[in-house]
């Protein structure tokens, strides 16, 4: 097997396993063995071993002494910590944008059109809404121009994807999110730093307040697969 083919196989396995872990298709502490994964993916041990090493480095699995690997799903405290860091990053983002303006105005205009159309638009699946919500926040971070911040935010958003999906399954959440997003954009455009921070905090905290219920839902999903 060539080096490129080996790398492609490992990358594909990483992407598949990461997607399953993010969507809680594995319960916490679920064991992943090289032999089982080789059989599932139809590959040799080398790309599987490399994939598991990468997932362990990224914090999605943990190596068990003489027992292969186990899936690392975040507990309540860890998820709340992710929200703490996310809130700090995103408050800084809107403060920067309200203070300096938005150099990527076209991107901001697209966000405004998207969330205006969603207020009275046709229903969308929870996962699509969660991805649009993630895009909204990451587009603002990209407009702020801090690449390190954007990388950190993307890593956090990756682990919060399922909780976003569950959140959008709640009654009236879509309409409230649309209005909250439009308010954030309005405050940024008005260069209202305090108002932009308050609007962003309301938006993030509403999702955070549903974490307890979301974890129960996530666990139910994990054990149903």
Number of H helices, E strands in the chain: 10, 3
Query: CA 184, 109, 147, 135: dihedral to nearest 10 degrees?
Result: 70
**Dihedral (CA of 14, 19, 22, 24) sign:** negative
Are domains 3-71 and 76-224 of this chain identical in fold? no
Instruction: Give the integer Cα–Cα distance in Å for 77 and 63.
Output: 22
Judged on CB neighbours under 10 Å (0-12, 13-18, 19+), 216 is exposed
User: Domain map of the chain by residue range?
Assistant: 3-71, 76-224
Model pTM?
0.88
The CA–CA distances, whole Å, from 117 to 138, 168, 187, 191 equal 19, 17, 19, 24
User: What are the pLDDT tens digits along the chain (225 aa)?
Assistant: 556 665 789 999 999 999 999 999 999 999 999 999 999 999 999 999 999 999 999 999 999 987 789 999 999 999 999 999 999 999 999 999 999 988 778 889 999 999 999 987 767 899 999 999 999 999 999 999 999 999 999 999 999 999 999 999 888 899 999 999 999 999 999 999 999 999 999 999 999 998 888 889 888 888 887
Q: In CATH, what is the architecture of 76-224?
A: Up-down Bundle (1.20)
Q: In CATH, what is the architecture of 3-71?
A: Orthogonal Bundle (1.10)
């Amino acid at each position: 097997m060539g080096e490129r083919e080996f790398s492609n196989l490992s990358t594909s396995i990483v992407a598949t396993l990461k997607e399953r872990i993010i969507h809680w298709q594995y319960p916490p502490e679920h064991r992943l063995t090289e032999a089982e994964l080789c059989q599932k993916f139809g590959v040799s041990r080398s790309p599987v071993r490399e994939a598991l090493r990468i997932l362990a480095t990224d914090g999605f699995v943990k190596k068990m002494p003489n027992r292969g690997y186990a899936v690392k799903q975040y507990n309540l405290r860890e998820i709340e910590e992710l929200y703490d860091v996310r809130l700090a990053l995103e408050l800084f983002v809107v403060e920067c944008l309200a203070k300096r303006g938005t150099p990527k105005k076209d991107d901001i205009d697209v966000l405004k059109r998207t969330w205006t159309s969603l207020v009275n638009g046709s229903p969308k699946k929870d996962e699509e809404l969660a991805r649009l919500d993630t895009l909204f926040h990451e587009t603002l971070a990209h407009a702020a121009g801090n690449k390190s911040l954007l990388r950190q935010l993307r890593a956090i958003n990756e682990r919060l994807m399922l909780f976003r999906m569950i959140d959008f399954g709640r009654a009236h959440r879509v309409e409230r999110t649309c209005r909250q997003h439009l308010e954030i954009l309005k405050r940024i455009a008005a260069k209202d730093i305090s108002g932009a921070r308050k609007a962003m905090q309301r938006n993030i905290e509403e999702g955070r307040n549903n974490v307890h219920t979301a974890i129960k839902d996530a666990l139910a999903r994990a054990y149903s697969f």
